[in-house]
Structures are given as structure tokens and as C-alpha cells.
Amino acid sequence: MLNEDDKKIVDEVLENFAAIAAIPRPSFHEKAISDYLLGAFRALGCEVRQDAANNIVADRAASPGFESAPRVILQAHMDMVCVAAEGVEYDPLRDPIRLRRAGDALAAEGTSLGADDGAGIAIMLYVFRHAENVGPLRAIITTDEEVSMKGAQALDAEALADADYLINVDSENVDELIRGCAGSVDIAFRRKITWRTQSEGYAWRVSVRGLLGGHSGERIADGRGNALRVLAQTLHALRHAGVSVSVASMKGGSAKNAIASEAEALIVTREEEEVLHRVLFDTERHTRTALGTVDPGLSVALSEEEAPPRVLSDADAAAVTDALLLLHTGVFQMSATMPGLVETSANLGLLRTEENEIWFSYFARSSVDEKLADLSESCRVLGERLGLAADIAKPSPGWRERPQSMLADLMAAIFEEQNGCPMKVGVIHAGLECGWHIQKAPHLDMVSVGVTTRDIHSPKETLDLTTVAPEVRLIMETLRRIAKKCTDLKG
Ligand SMILES: [Zn+2]
């Protein structure tokens, strides 16, 4: 239950949030919300700019007497992941988010809520309206965070240059403070298919199922199995056993940033069923033993299929299978300074056979940009050797933790004073817009914080309203202390 003081804060933040939720704002369609924010910050007396990417940059003057205090940036993103529960009619370009409050939990009717990161914006508007005894403030609200961080990429470096501190409000737990994140690079291996007809033999589907999968940033160190790799191991085992196999198609995985939990291949062979079963059984047992209790559900199964009209050339099938076998999927390196944190990893995510090409994704993350560059170069060479083109996208930069962060220390101390429990301070093996900011403004002392949300990017997304007032108080007090510290020093 909320006390009276908290209730006042929550009511006003919710009013801000409802106005944002009423405006459809999927990634790539943010003009309307951007225009709304332009007006909302102007109404608070800010000087506001909207750039070509529809990012909003709003400046609020310092409180009287605090003009010489350092500028602090509060930063959020305006787009949201728009998804609906099965059976719910929802047009993300037209329909507002309908809010549903149950006690201290806020959710949406049948869709994602957009508390990621609408809650961050709603809190920023509150802070900009009510903060007193603070230095100059700037709000930066970006576009397209959820798909490519295009807004953060496009943001003018000047918007960051004259500030000393940046508080990103896009994290997911009120008692967590992030002070570093991983960069990433998306690599797609492609091969043009040479089809040939196959008239002899029986067709079979080889299915890899039952693995746990999971987010490739959060779960990569758990040692879970990757279905694309198991599929390649299975095809390799058949080849190794002297079984002549043609491959008609291979596919698997659900997203480049999810560990592949399922994969399958359609094969054609003249080999006896019994031999195939034995090889598959051996592969399954071998891999299951290797995975142990970490990922115990693996099955590698065989089912009869109708014969396909054509198959890949043997060279096509071998190139892809070999690449999947040779590319390491999982952790490359743990952090030397943070126990338990992954520094560098890569994931095999998607594998698809299309009309003219077969391709798969290899998504690498690292908190050290140079290691991503090294890994990309290895992929290019490996692709060349195996006859695959390696399409290497522009990397998203990481945010390397700085040894000393006045802002992180200050906020963690204030959180503990205000709430009587320590804040968890750490670095994540996933991406944040802070990576782009620090590349443009290496002098910035930055943190990422946020209210507590659950099941983001899903129709079950909820916002824990009991964490709104603590988040507001934490940010307001941090701004006051930064301003006070500076004027005390000068006085
Ligand atoms: Zn977000």
C-alpha cells in the first residue's frame, strides 16, 4: 500500500504516463509522440529541440543560485515494443495502450504496457516540473531504441558535450544501478544455393528439440545447449559414420539474440533407417551427457517425410555445417574484474534456407569493443575459407565501466539512506544506449537506473507502482546533492 506522500507522486507520474500511453509509438513510428513531448517540455518552460531522428532534447534552466552547478542529463527512449496476447485485436500504429491497474501493479489490456520506457519519461516529466535547488537539467529522449538504437546513434554529440553527468532511466529494477554494459555486433553468414535434383533415396526430418534457450545476454554463461550447433553435430556424425546424406533445407532458432532451442533439417539418403537411428541416438546421448543437468531435455528425432524436389549441393551443405561446428557459441571470456560477469560471448541464433540462399546469424557481445572487432575479423576469414559471405553490421559500442564513478557512489549511498537497504551495483552483459553516449562523450559520468518492471516486451508487462516514488526521490536527491556539492565547493 502507498502512503499519502507516495500516492501524490504516483498519481502525477501516472497522469504523465497515461498521456504517453494514449499515443501509439512503436519503433520507427515516433513522430506523434515526439511532437507531444516537444509540447510537454515546452509547457514546463524548457527550451526544446527536435532533431532529424525525432529525438527530443529539452533544457531546463538551473534553480536560482545554482547556475554554476554542473549540467545533468536525464535520458530515456520514447519507442516501445508493441505486442498483443493471442486473440487480441491490436493495431500498434493506431490503437492506444489501455491501462489496467490492479492494486499496486499497472498493466495493459491485452498488450504490452510500454513502461519500458514510458515510465522513465513520465518520471522525467515529474522531476522537471518539481525539482528545486538543482543545477541545469537536460532531458534527452531518443527514438528506435528497441530495434537498433538509431536515435542514440543519430544524437548530436553536442547534446552530451556540455554536461558532466548522465542518468539513463531505462533499467528494470529500482534497487539496481548499472555502471557498464556490453557492445554487440550482428554477423550474418550467407551462401548462395546451388540446387540440384535428387531422385533416389528416402526423405527424413531430423529434429532437435527440448533445449531451454533463453536471452543470449542474460543466459549465455549457463552452459545451455544450442540447437543449431546440435543439428550441425548430428549432420557431421552422419557424414563421419560414412552415411551419404543430401540436405534439402536447414532451419532453426527464433531470434538472433535468443539461444536457439529448436532446429531441423530435411535430408535425403539411401541409408537404412536402423543406421540413421543409431547415429542419431549416439549423438543425442553424447550431447545430453555433455550438457548434464544444465539443459537435460534434449531430443534428436527422426521422422519420415515426403521426398523434396531438390536438395542443396554437397558443397553448400558442408560449408554451412562446418561453419556451425567451428563457430564457438557461448562464453569466450569472463570479466577479469567483476566476478560472474561475462565479458565476451557469441550466440548462434537464426538459421534459414530461402529460395536462393542459406544463412545464419551469429550475434556477439563484449564489454571491450576491440574484442568485437577481433571476433568480426575472425568471422570474415572463416567465412572466406568456408565459402560463406560474412555480413558484419555496424557494431553497437559497449560502455566500459570506469574505475571511479562519483555519480554511481553518490546514488548508491542516497538509495541506502532513503530505503535502508543497499543498492545492487553492477555491469550487464547486454546493450544500453549508454554505449553510444560514451563513445561520443567519454568524459560523461553515467549510470542507468529505473523503476521495477516485469515481463517487458510481452503482453504480461507490468509496472510495480510501489517503486515509482522511491525512484523519483532517488533522482531528485541526487540532483540536489550534485548542485549543492558544487556550490558548497565554490562558496
Ligand atoms: Zn527500454
Going from the Cα of 170 to the center of ligand 1, the distance in angstroms, rounded, reads: 5
Going from the Cα of 116 to the center of ligand 1, the distance in angstroms, rounded, reads: 5
Cβ-contact 75, 57 below 8 angstroms: no
d(CA 344, CA 183): 9
Q: Which residues of 351-376 are buried (b: 16+ CB within 10 A; e: fewer)?
A: bebeeeebbbbbbbbbbbbebbeebb
Helix or strand (DSSP H, E) at 203: strand 202-209
Cβ of 325: how many Cβ atoms within 10 Å? Answer: 12
Going from the Cα of 212 to the center of ligand 1, the distance in angstroms, rounded, reads: 25
Banded pLDDT at 255 (limits 50, 70, 90)? confident
130 has a pLDDT exceeding 90: yes
Share of the chain above pLDDT 90, in %: 88
Q: What ranges make up the beta strands (E) of 338-430?
A: 342-353, 357-366, 389-392, 424-426
Q: What is the pLDDT of residues 384-427, one digit of tens each?
A: 999 999 999 989 999 988 889 999 999 999 999 999 999 999 99
pLDDT of residue 485: 85
pLDDT of residue 86: 83
Going from the Cα of 117 to the center of ligand 1, the distance in angstroms, rounded, reads: 5
pLDDT of residue 490: 63
d(CA 452, CA 173): 4
pTM for this model (two decimals): 0.82
What is the pLDDT of the chain when averaged over all its residues? 95
- Would you state the cell numbers that stand for residue 234, as one nine-digit string? 548430428
Q: What is the pLDDT of residues 435-488, one digit of tens each?
A: 999 999 999 999 999 999 998 888 999 999 999 999 999 999 999 999 998 777
Going from the Cα of 341 to the center of ligand 1, the distance in angstroms, rounded, reads: 21
pLDDT of residue 166: 98
pLDDT of residue 254: 83
Going from the Cα of 174 to the center of ligand 1, the distance in angstroms, rounded, reads: 14
Going from the Cα of 445 to the center of ligand 1, the distance in angstroms, rounded, reads: 20
Q: If you average pLDDT over residues 266-285, what whole number do you get?
A: 96
Banded pLDDT at 338 (limits 50, 70, 90)? confident
d(CA 184, CA 197): 40
Q: What is the pLDDT of residues 429-439, one digit of tens each?
A: 988 999 999 99
Cβ-contact 54, 155 below 8 angstroms: no
Going from the Cα of 145 to the center of ligand 1, the distance in angstroms, rounded, reads: 7
**CA angle 340–346–349, rounded 5-degree value:** 125
The alpha-carbon radius of gyration of the chain (Å, integer) is 26
- The CATH superfamily assigned to 4-181+399-490 is Zn peptidases (3.40.630.10)
Going from the Cα of 30 to the center of ligand 1, the distance in angstroms, rounded, reads: 15
Going from the Cα of 176 to the center of ligand 1, the distance in angstroms, rounded, reads: 15
Residue 156 φ/ψ region, left for φ over 0, alpha for ψ in the -120 to 50 degree band, beta for the rest: beta
Going from the Cα of 29 to the center of ligand 1, the distance in angstroms, rounded, reads: 16
Q: Which residue has the cell 548530436?
A: 156
491 has a pLDDT exceeding 60: no
Q: What is the pLDDT of residues 37-82, one digit of tens each?
A: 999 999 999 999 999 999 999 999 999 999 999 999 999 999 999 9
Q: Which residues of 176-195 are buried (b: 16+ CB within 10 A; e: fewer)?
A: bbbbbbbbbbbbbbbbebee
Going from the Cα of 436 to the center of ligand 1, the distance in angstroms, rounded, reads: 15
Q: What is the pLDDT of residues 196-249, one digit of tens each?
A: 998 789 999 999 999 999 888 888 999 999 999 999 999 999 999 999 999 999
Top CATH class, 184-392: alpha beta
Q: What is the pLDDT of residues 3-28, one digit of tens each?
A: 899 999 999 999 999 999 999 999 99
pLDDT of residue 73: 98
Cβ-contact 77, 153 below 8 angstroms: no
Per domain, the residue ranges of the chain are: 4-181+399-490, 184-392
pLDDT of residue 258: 86
Cis omega (within 30 of 0) on the bond before 164?
A: no
Q: If you average pLDDT over residues 253-279, what whole number do you get?
A: 93
By three-state DSSP, how is residue 339 classified? Answer: coil
pLDDT of residue 69: 96
* Range 7-10 contact pairs with CB under 8 angstroms and sequence separation of 24 or more: 9/126, 9/468, 9/469, 9/472, 10/465, 10/468, 10/469
Q: If you average pLDDT over residues 90-103, what whole number do you get?
A: 96
